[in-house]
Amino acid sequence: MNPGTAALWVTGLIRHRSPRLLGAAAGIALAVSLVAFLGAFLTTSEATMTQRARSAVSVDWQVQVETGGNVEAIRDQLAHTSGNAAVTGVSLGQTTGLSSTAAASGSTQTTGPGVVLGLGPDYRSTFPDQIRQLAGSPDGVQVAQQTASNLKIVPGDHVTIGLAGATSVMVTVAGVVDLPQANSLFQRVGAPPQSQPTAPPDNVLLLPQAQFSQAFSNQLAQVSTQFHIRRNAPLPTDPASAYTLDAAAARNVEATSAGTALVGDNLGAALGAARADAAYARMLFLFLGLPGVILAALLTAAVIAAGAERRRSEQALLRTRGLSRRALVMLALAETGLLATLGSIIGIAVAAVLARWVLGPAAGANTSTLVAWSVIAALVGVVVAVTTTLLPLRRDLRMGGVLETRRANATGPVDRPPWWLRYGLDLLLLAAAAGVFWASSGNNYTLVLAPEGVPSISVSYWAFLGPALLWLGAAGLLTRLMLLGLRHARPVLERLLRPLAGRLAPAGAASMTRRRPALARAVVLLALALSFAASTATFNATYAQQAEADALLTNGADVTVTFPTGAQPAAGLAQKLGAVPGVTAVEGVQHRYAYVGADLQDLYGVNPASITTVTALQDAYFTGGTAAQVLDRLRVQPDSIIVSAETVKDYQLTLGDTLRLRLPTPGGGPATTVPFRYAGIVNEFPTAPKDSFFVANAAYIAKATGDGSVNTFLVNTGSTGQPAVAARARSLVGADATITDITATRGKVGSSLTSVSLGGLTRIELGYAIVLSVAAGALVLGLGIAERRRSSAILAVLGARRRQLSGLIAGEGALLLVGGILGGTLIGGILSVMLVKVLTGVFDPPPSTMAIPAAYLLSTVAAVAAALAGVALLGGRSSAQRPAVEELREL
Amino acid sequence: MTSRPQTLSPTAGRPDLPLVRCREATRTFGTGTAEIVAVSAVTVEIAPGDRIALIGSSGSGKSTLLHLLAGLESPTSGTVEWPALPEGADHQRPSAVPGIAVVFQGPSLIPTLDVVENLLVPMQLAGLPTAEALARADDALAVLDLTDLAERLPDELSGGQAQRVAVARALAARPQLILADEPTGQLDTTTGERVIDALVRAADHTEAGLLITTHDPRVASRMRTLWAMHDGELHAVQALATGASA
* Phi, psi dihedral angles at A656 (to 5 degrees): 95, -15
pLDDT at A404: 55
Q: Is A795 on the interface with B (CB under 8 A)?
A: yes
pTM of the model: 0.79
Average pLDDT over residues A848-853: 88
CA distance B77 to chain A (A): 17
Question: Please, how many CA atoms are within 13 Å of residue A560, restricted to the half-sphere of its CB?
Answer: 25
Nearest by CB: A510 against B107, B117, B127: B117
Q: Average the pLDDT over each of A82-86, A492-496, B203-207 and give the range with the smallest value.
A: B203-207
Average pLDDT over residues A856-875: 89
pLDDT greater than 90 at residue A21 = no
Contacts of A563 (CB under 8 A, 6+ apart): A569, A711, A712, A733, A736, A737
Q: Is A124 on the interface with B (CB under 8 A)?
A: no
Please name the residue of chain A whose CA is at the shortest distance from the CA of residue B126: A799
Neighboring chain A residues of B109 at a CB cutoff of 8 Å:
794
Share the mean pLDDT of chain B: 84
Nearest by CB: A885 against B72, B110, B122: B72
Average pLDDT over residues A88-117: 85
pLDDT greater than 60 at residue A661 = yes
Quickly list DSSP for chain B: --SPPP---TTTT-TTS-SEEEEEEEEEES-GGG-EEEEEEEEEEE-TT-EEEEE--TTSSHHHHHHHHHTSS--SEEEEE-TT-TTTTT--TTSPPTTEEEE-SS--S-TTS-HHHHHHHHHHHTT--HHHHHHHHHHHHHHTT-GGGTT--GGGS-HHHHHHHHHHHHHHT--SEEEEESTTTTS-HHHHHHHHHHHHHHHHHHT-EEEEEES-HHHHTTSSEEEEEETTEEEEEEE-S-----
Asked if A389 and A336 count as a contact pair (C-beta separation under 8 A), the reply is: yes
Q: Say which residue, A281 or A525, is predicted with more confidence.
A: A525
Nearest by CB: B112 against A411, A503, A885: A411
| pLDDT tens string B71-121 | 888 899 999 989 888 776 666 666 778 888 898 887 789 999 999 999 999
Burial (CB count <10 Å: 0-12, 13-18, 19+), residue B170: buried
Nearest by CB: B111 against A411, A506, A799: A411
Contact flag A797-B125 (C-beta cutoff 8 Å)? no
- Rounded CA separation B193/B216 (Å): 11
Neighboring chain A residues of B95 at a CB cutoff of 8 Å:
796-801, 884
| pLDDT tens string A591-610 | 888 888 877 788 999 999 99
pLDDT greater than 50 at residue A427 = yes
CA distance B241 to chain A (A): 34
Q: Is A503 on the interface with B (CB under 8 A)?
A: yes
pLDDT at B245: 44
Q: Is A797 on the interface with B (CB under 8 A)?
A: yes
Neighboring chain A residues of B155 at a CB cutoff of 8 Å:
410-412
CA distance B109 to chain A (A): 8
| pLDDT tens string A277-325 | 787 777 777 777 788 888 888 888 888 877 777 777 787 888 888 888 8
Share the mean pLDDT of chain A: 85
Asked if A606 and A698 count as a contact pair (C-beta separation under 8 A), the reply is: yes
pLDDT greater than 50 at residue B13 = no
The torsion defined by the Cα of A16, A22, A24 and A28, in degrees rounded to 10, comes to 150
Please name the residue of chain A whose CA is at the shortest distance from the CA of residue B91: A799
Q: Is A515 on the interface with B (CB under 8 A)?
A: yes
pLDDT greater than 80 at residue A452 = no
* Coil, helix or strand at residue A555: helix
pLDDT at A184: 86
Quickly list DSSP for A378-397: HHHHHHHHHHHHHHHHHHHH
Average pLDDT over residues A523-529: 92
* Coil, helix or strand at residue A640: strand
Q: Say which residue, A400 or A305, is predicted with more confidence.
A: A305
Which of B91, B114, B121 to mutate against chain A (most A CBs within 10 Å)?
B121
Contact flag B125-A798 (C-beta cutoff 8 Å)? yes
Nearest by CB: B124 against A412, A506, A791: A506
CA distance A434 to chain B (A): 39
pLDDT greater than 90 at residue A65 = yes
CA distance B185 to chain A (A): 14
pLDDT at A785: 81
Asked if A180 and A145 count as a contact pair (C-beta separation under 8 A), the reply is: no
Contact flag B106-A888 (C-beta cutoff 8 Å)? yes
- Rounded CA separation A211/B60 (Å): 117
- Rounded CA separation A137/A172 (Å): 12
Nearest by CB: A511 against B112, B126, B127: B112
Contact flag B113-A507 (C-beta cutoff 8 Å)? yes
> Which of these, A48, A673, A771, lies nearest to A360 by C-alpha position?
A48
Nearest by CB: A791 against B98, B111, B122: B111
- Helix H, strand E, coil C: the string for B17-50 is CCCEEEEEEEEEECCHHHCEEEEEEEEEEECCCC
Q: Average the pLDDT over each of A34-43, A411-420, A831-840, B193-202 and give the range with the smallest value.
A: A411-420
Neighboring chain B residues of A891 at a CB cutoff of 8 Å:
106
pLDDT category at B11 given cuts 50, 70, 90 is very low
Neighboring chain B residues of A797 at a CB cutoff of 8 Å:
72, 94-96, 102, 104, 108
pLDDT greater than 50 at residue B246 = no
Neighboring chain A residues of B102 at a CB cutoff of 8 Å:
797
| pLDDT tens string A212-224 | 999 998 877 779 9
pLDDT at B59: 85
Q: Say which residue, A440 or A675, is predicted with more confidence.
A: A675
Burial (CB count <10 Å: 0-12, 13-18, 19+), residue A880: middle
B242 Cα distance to chain centroid: 20
Average pLDDT over residues A321-349: 87
Contact flag A885-B153 (C-beta cutoff 8 Å)? no
What's the N-to-C CA distance of chain A in angstroms? 31
Please name the residue of chain B whose CA is at the shortest distance from the CA of residue A799: B95
Q: Is A791 on the interface with B (CB under 8 A)?
A: yes
Residue A186: Cβ within 10 Å count: 19
| A-B Cβ pairs (cutoff 8 Å, strict) | 86
- Rounded CA separation A427/A434 (Å): 11
Which of A415, A514, A798 to mutate against chain B (most B CBs within 10 Å)?
A798
Neighboring chain B residues of A413 at a CB cutoff of 8 Å:
153
pLDDT category at A677 given cuts 50, 70, 90 is very high
| pLDDT tens string B58-71 | 888 899 999 999 98
User: Can the peptide bond before residue A455 be classed as cis, meaning omega within 30 degrees of 0?
Assistant: no
Strands A599-606 and A693-697: parallel
DSSP state of A288: I
| pLDDT tens string B137-194 | 999 898 888 999 999 999 899 888 998 899 899 889 888 899 999 888 878 888 888 8
Q: Average the pLDDT over each of A152-161, A275-284, A654-663, B50-59 and give the range with the smallest value.
A: A275-284
| pLDDT tens string A600-636 | 788 999 999 999 999 989 888 999 889 999 999 999 9
Nearest by CB: B124 against A411, A503, A515: A503
CA distance A865 to chain B (A): 26
Q: Say which residue, A664 or B21, is predicted with more confidence.
A: B21
pLDDT category at A499 given cuts 50, 70, 90 is very high
Neighboring chain B residues of A510 at a CB cutoff of 8 Å:
112-114, 117
pLDDT at A459: 67
Q: Say which residue, A696 or A313, is predicted with more confidence.
A: A696
| pLDDT tens string A348-377 | 999 888 888 877 776 666 677 778 888 999
pLDDT at B90: 66
Contact flag A515-B72 (C-beta cutoff 8 Å)? no
Which of A794, A877, A878 to mutate against chain B (most B CBs within 10 Å)?
A794
pLDDT at A412: 46
Neighboring chain A residues of B111 at a CB cutoff of 8 Å:
411, 791
- Long-range Cβ contact pairs of A783-791 (< 8 A, separation 24 or more): A783/A302, A783/A303, A783/A306, A784/A518, A784/A522, A784/A812, A785/A809, A785/A871, A785/A872, A785/A875, A786/A306, A787/A306, A789/A879, A789/A887, A789/A891, A790/A887, A790/A888, A790/A891, A790/B107, A791/A511, A791/B110, A791/B111, A791/B112
Helix axes A367-399, A325-359, angle to 10 degrees: 150
| pLDDT tens string A797-812 | 888 888 898 899 999 9
Please name the residue of chain B whose CA is at the shortest distance from the CA of residue A879: B94
Q: Say which residue, A173 or A7, is predicted with more confidence.
A: A173
| pLDDT tens string B191-234 | 888 888 888 888 888 788 999 998 888 888 889 999 998 888 88
> Which of these, B142, B211, B213, lies nearest to B171 by C-alpha position?
B142
- Rounded CA separation A153/A173 (Å): 8
Give the H or E element holding residue A110: strand A108-110
Q: Say which residue, A520 or A566, is predicted with more confidence.
A: A520
pLDDT category at B1 given cuts 50, 70, 90 is very low
pLDDT category at A45 given cuts 50, 70, 90 is confident
Nearest by CB: A799 against B106, B120, B126: B126
pLDDT at A670: 75
Q: Is A798 on the interface with B (CB under 8 A)?
A: yes
Neighboring chain B residues of A415 at a CB cutoff of 8 Å:
none
